[in-house]
Amino acid sequence: MTGAERFLAGCRGAAVDATPVWFMRQAGGSLPAYLALRKRHSVIEIARDARLCSEVSAGAADALGTDAAIMFADIMLLAEAMGVALELRSDGPHLEHPIRSLADVERLRVVDPAGDLGFILEAIRATRLAVGSSAAVIGLAGGPFTMAAYLIEGGPSRDHAVAKTMLFAAPEVWHALVDRITHATVAYVRAQVAAGAEAIQLFDSWAGSLGPADYDRAVRPWTARVLDAIRDAGVPSIHYAASGAALLERLADGADVVGVDAGQSLAVARARLGPDRAVQGNLDPARLLAGPRAIESGVTAVLEAADGAPGHIFNTGGPIARETSPDALRSIVAMVHDRSAREMAAAAGRHGQEVPS
Amino acid sequence: MTDRADRFLRACRRLPVDATPVWFMRQAGRSLPEYRAIRERATLADIVGDAALCTEVSLQPVDRLGVDAAIVFADITTPLPGAGIAVDLVDGVGPLVDRPIRTVADLDRLHPLEPAVAVGPLLEAIGLIRRASPVPVIGFAGAPFTLASYLVEGRASRRFERTKAMLLGEPALWAALLERLVDLDVAYLRAQVGAGAQAIQLFDSWVGALSPRDYRIAVAPHMRRLFEGLAGLGVPIIHFGTGTTGLLEEMATAGGDVIGLDWRVGLADGWSRVPDRAVQGNLDPAVLLADYAAAEAATDAILDEAGGRPGHIFNLGHGVLPWTDPDHLRRLVDRVHARTARIVVPG
C-alpha cells in the first residue's frame, strides 16, 4: 500500500498492511529544512506563501516517512480572513480587539475562501503534487469552541473563563458567534477538499474544558454542521479535542475518526466507541522528549492497546513540542510500521487472510 | 437528626444526611471582600504564618456563605520552605520555586518535614478553627505528583514536559523524589489531623496530564504508600484532581473515601466509574461568573444526576475563580440545601 492508501484505509476502518502514522504539528518544528527557512522568513510569511507552505508540509511527511502530510496552517488564519486582526506568537494567537458583544460579532466578514485563503488552497494543490501517493494530504480547521474561545479571550487561556462566561451569560452572543464561525468553517473545509485535501482534521482542542451538558448545548449542533460538510465533500473527518475523555462518544458523533488524547487508555476508548469507529492516537507527546527507552515503551503500549484491530491511526495524543527531535519521530514511524506489519502478517497467517500489499 | 455540623462527615462515609453538604474549593480567598481587605495589609505567607489571621480567613466563608465545612487557608506549596525548598508565591503567576529539582544532587535539598517547627502557626490555626467553627475543618496537602510538578518545572506548567521527562526518562530519580514527597505529605497531614483536622483533601490537581498507564506505573504505588501512611487516622480522605476522566478508576484504586470529580465529566458518569466511593463535585467554576440563573440551572442538573444517593458532597469542579460574586455562592449553598432537604433517621 502507498502511504496515502494506508492512511485513508485506516480512516475507513478497512484492512491495512501496516498501521498508518503521522504526528500532530509534524510540519515545522525542528526539521532542518524548516529551521533553515525560518532564518529568512517568519511563521506567517511561510504560512501565507503557497510555495513555502507546501515545501514545509510536504517536506515534513517526506523527511519523517509519515503516511499523511498535514498542512502547515494555523487554525486562526480563518479568523484573519473573517477580518480579525491578530498576531501569532509562540504561545498562540493574540487579538487586538477580542470579541465581546453582538456588535463585535456582526463586524465579522463572510469569508470567500478562494479570495481570502487562496494561498492555503494553492499550497494544498502543490502539496498533493509534491507528495504524490506517498502520503495523504490533511487539511484542517479549528472547531467551533476553540475558535470562539480564542476570539473571545483574545489570547491563550488556561480556564477559558471569559469565553465560558459569554456562553453561560450571553447565549445569544455566543450562538451568533459560533454560527458565523461555523458558516466560515464550512466554506473553508469545502474549499480545502476541492483543492485536493484528502481528509480534514477538526481541531476542537479546548472543547474538553466543557462539561458534557454544556458541550451539547453550546458546541455540538455547530460541530455537526462542519462534520456533515466534510462528509458531503467526500473525505473522512478526524475530530480531536484535548482532555476529551468525557466527551468521547460526542466527538465520535458524525466524525469518521476520533482523535484520542493521551490522558485516556486507547483500549478503553476503542471499547467505548465500538469496532466501527476509527481512532487516532495516542502517544503522550512528552514521551518524545524523554529518551529512546521512554519512546519505545510508549509506542509498544499504544500498539498493544490498539490490538492490531483495523481503524487505528497512530499519532501523538496532542501536538508535538517544537523541540522534538526529527530522529525520534523517524524512529517511531519505523517502529509502528515494522511492528504492526509483522503482527498483521502473523494474524492473517492465523486466519488465512490476505494482507493488502 | 443530622444537621449542618455533621452532614459533611456523614456524606464522606456515604451515610444518609438531612441535606447534601456543600463547600467550595478556594472558598476562602479573593472572591470575598473581607479577604481582599486583609490582603491589602498582609501577604499570603503572612496569613499562613499567623495563626489568628489564618483562622480568621479560613472562617470567613463559613459565616458568609453558610458552607458545611471549613478548609484551612494555605497553599499546596506551604510546607515546602520548611522542607528546604524556597517558594515565592506571586499573584497571578502562582508558586515560583527558586531552584527547581532536576538532578539526584538537587534531591538532597529536600529535607524531611518537622511540622511543629515548619508550619506551627498553621497547625495552631487548625486547632483554633476547630474550636470556633460550627462545621468540620478540612486539612489538605498537594499530592506527590502535583507537588513534584512544581518542584521540577519550577512554576505552574501547561504541558509538564520536564516533569514527564523525569518520570519517563529517569524513573529512579522520579521514584526517589516521590518517596520524599510521600514522607512529607504523611508527616504534614498526620500533624494536621493531630491538630484537629476532621477530614483531609489530597489535591492532585495536575495529575490528569498523565496517561492511565503512566499513572499506574509512576504515581499509583506512591499514592498507595501515602494512603497507608494515613491509615488509622480515622478521618475521611478526599482524593481530587482535574482532567481525570480517564484516570478515575486508577485514582480510586490508589485510595480515598471520596473521589473529587472535575466538571468535565458528568457526575453520574464519573460516579459510575467509582461506584463504591463517595464523590465530590462538580460545578464548572466558570458558570458562576455568569448570571445566577445559569449557575442554579447547572447546579440543579448536578443534583439530579446525584439523584439523592448518599455520598454526594456538592462542590465546584475546581477552585472558586477570584472574580466570582460571593452572593452567587451563598445562594447556591441555600439552593443545594433546600433542594436536597430530607428527614433522616440517624444510622
Q: Do A209 and B264 touch (CB under 8 A)?
A: yes
Residue B112 has pLDDT above 90, yes or no: yes
Average pLDDT of chain A is 96
Calculate what percentage of chain B has a pLDDT beyond 90: 94
Q: Do B286 and A213 touch (CB under 8 A)?
A: no
Q: Do B245 and A262 touch (CB under 8 A)?
A: no
Which residues on B lie below 8 Å from A319 (Cβ)?
A: none
Separation in Å, CA B114 to CA A90, B76, B185: 43, 16, 11
C-beta separation of B321 from A161 below 8 A:
yes
The C-alpha of A291 sits at a distance from chain B's nearest C-alpha, in angstroms, of 6
The C-alpha of A270 sits at a distance from chain B's nearest C-alpha, in angstroms, of 13
Q: Do B298 and A208 touch (CB under 8 A)?
A: no
pLDDT value at residue A349 = 75
Which residues on A lie below 8 Å from B158 (Cβ)?
A: 158
Residues B20, B158: Cα–Cα separation, whole Å: 34
pLDDT value at residue A352 = 62
C-beta separation of A315 from A283 below 8 A:
yes
The residue in chain A having the minimum alpha-carbon distance to the alpha carbon of residue B291 is A169
Which residues on B lie below 8 Å from A214 (Cβ)?
A: 284, 298
* Confidence bin at A210 (pLDDT 50/70/90): very high
Q: Note the pLDDT tens digit of each residue in B232-288.
A: 999 999 999 999 999 999 999 999 999 999 999 999 999 999 999 999 999 999 999
Residue type at B64 in one-letter notation: R
Residue type at A5 in one-letter notation: E
Q: Do B287 and A168 touch (CB under 8 A)?
A: yes
Which residues on B lie below 8 Å from A100 (Cβ)?
A: none
pLDDT value at residue A75 = 96
In chain A, which residues touch B (CB < 8 A)?
158-161, 164-165, 167-169, 208-214, 243, 245-247, 262-265, 268, 282, 284-287, 289-291, 293-294, 298, 301, 317-318, 321
Average pLDDT, stretch A59-74? 98
User: Active-site residue among B4, B50, B75, B106?
Assistant: B75
B304 catalytic per annotation: no
Q: Note the pLDDT tens digit of each residue in A158-174.
A: 899 999 999 999 999 99
B26 catalytic per annotation: yes
Q: Do A294 and B169 touch (CB under 8 A)?
A: yes
Residue A348 has pLDDT above 80, yes or no: no
Asked if B247 reaches chain A (Cβ–Cβ under 8 Å), the answer is yes
Average pLDDT, stretch A248-267? 97
- Computed on alpha carbons and rounded to an integer, the radius of gyration of chain B in Å comes to 19
Q: How far is CA A47 from the centre of its chain?
A: 16
Q: Which of A162, A168, A204, A214 to mutate to test the interface with B (most CBs of B within 10 A)?
A: A168
Q: Which three cell numbers stand for residue B62?
A: 463559613
B335 catalytic per annotation: no
Which residues on A lie below 8 Å from B286 (Cβ)?
A: 159-161, 164-165, 168
Q: Which three cell numbers stand for residue A79?
A: 479568523
Q: Note the pLDDT tens digit of each residue in B164-192.
A: 999 999 999 999 999 999 999 999 999 99
Q: Note the pLDDT tens digit of each residue in A104-125.
A: 999 999 999 999 999 999 999 9
Q: Note the pLDDT tens digit of each residue in B115-167.
A: 999 999 999 999 999 999 999 999 999 999 999 999 999 999 888 999 999 99
Residue A198 has pLDDT above 70, yes or no: yes
Residue B71 has pLDDT above 60, yes or no: yes
Beta bridge partners, B71, equal B138
**Residue B275 burial (CB count, 10 A):** 8
Q: Do B164 and A298 touch (CB under 8 A)?
A: no
CB pairs under 8 A between A and B: 120
Least confident span in A13-22, A253-262, A348-357, B133-142 = A348-357
Residue B347 has pLDDT above 60, yes or no: no
Task: List the A199-203 sheet strands across, edge first.
Answer: A68-70, A136-142, A199-203, A237-240, A257-259, A278-283, A312-316
Residue A89 has pLDDT above 60, yes or no: yes
The residue in chain A having the minimum alpha-carbon distance to the alpha carbon of residue B285 is A161
Residue B343 has pLDDT above 90, yes or no: no
- Angle of helix B161-169 relative to helix B171-195, nearest 10 degrees, comes to 110
Q: Do A243 and B161 touch (CB under 8 A)?
A: no
Beta bridge partners, A281, equal A314
User: Active-site residue among B14, B64, B150, B273?
Assistant: B150
C-beta separation of A49 from A344 below 8 A:
no
